[in-house]
């Protein structure tokens, strides 16, 4: 079976990502901060990379000071691990899927910035649970994500983030492929320089909260990883 590396702040955060990739038929290698080894050693034999959701990306990485009012929770060891893993994957032209924080980190790695805090997209507390918000996005025809999902157009998806980006923050080397209908925040990014580098702001690993066809993203990542030699 193909091996897909998943980066995460810890094992608990990685649970859903591991489940969907194993269900798609991949062997998972979990990478967390503090693991010993160079990117070459950690990714030896890996055919694909999944950058998961998690803490906020440190604003210092895109040349800004933290906004005290933004309520940031950062993890520089995770930033360092993911940036090194992503650089390695891009150099090898491995398939990469970035989800939520993963898409944001992709944008920073390619030279873009982030909005440190934005309203209306974060999960809400209901009783003792955190519940995803929902909103509509438009996924562009011709994007790799649309081809994988099986259609373009409007979709109702979950939202669990308080950072994000609009066009002024987008890395010029990345292409916007999806937008939030209500407020224009970017919901999808793809690299035009690489074979298969896709980022989505929503959480397709929470499969009960997105259209069923979004599961094709994990199947496609497994299939692309399978073709890496």
**Strand-pair category, 197-200 with 186-191:** antiparallel
Catalytic residue among 121, 135, 162, 203, which? 203
The first and second tokens of residue 83, run together, are 């940036």
Catalytic-residue membership of 100: yes
Catalytic-residue membership of 161: no
Catalytic residue among 75, 100, 121, 161, which? 100
Residue 48: how many other CB atoms lie within 10 Å = 27
The first and second tokens of residue 119, run together, are 């309203």
What string of DSSP letters covers 7-69?
A: E-SSHHHHHHHHHHHHHTTPEEEEE-TT--S-HHHHTTT--EEEE---SBPPGGGGT-PPPGG
Catalytic residue among 82, 187, 205, 209, which? 205
Residues involved in catalysis: 100, 203, 205
């Amino acid at each position: 079976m193909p091996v897909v590396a998943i980066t995460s702040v810890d094992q608990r955060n990685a649970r859903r990502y591991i489940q969907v990739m194993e269900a798609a038929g991949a062997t998972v290698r979990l990478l967390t901060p503090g693991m010993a080894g160079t990117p070459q050693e950690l990714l030896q034999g890996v055919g694909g990379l999944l950058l998961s959701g998690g803490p906020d990306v440190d604003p210092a990485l895109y040349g800004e000071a933290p906004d005290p009012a933004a309520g940031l929770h950062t993890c520089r060891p995770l930033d360092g691990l993911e940036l090194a893993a992503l650089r390695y994957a891009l150099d090898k032209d491995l398939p990469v899927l970035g989800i939520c924080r993963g898409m944001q980190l992709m944008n920073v790695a390619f030279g873009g910035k982030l909005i440190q805090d934005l309203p209306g997209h974060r999960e809400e507390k209901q009783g003792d649970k955190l519940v995803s918000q929902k909103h509509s996005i438009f996924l562009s025809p011709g994007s790799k994500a649309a081809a994988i999902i099986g259609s373009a157009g409007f979709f109702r998806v979950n939202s669990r983030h308080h950072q994000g980006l609009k066009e002024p923050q987008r890395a010029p080397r990345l292409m916007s492929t999806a937008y939030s209908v209500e407020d224009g925040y970017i919901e999808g990014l793809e690299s035009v320089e690489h074979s298969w580098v896709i980022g989505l702001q929503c959480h397709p690993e929470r499969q009960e909260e997105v259209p069923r066809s979004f599961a094709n993203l994990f199947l496609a990542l497994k299939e692309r990883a399978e073709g890496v030699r």
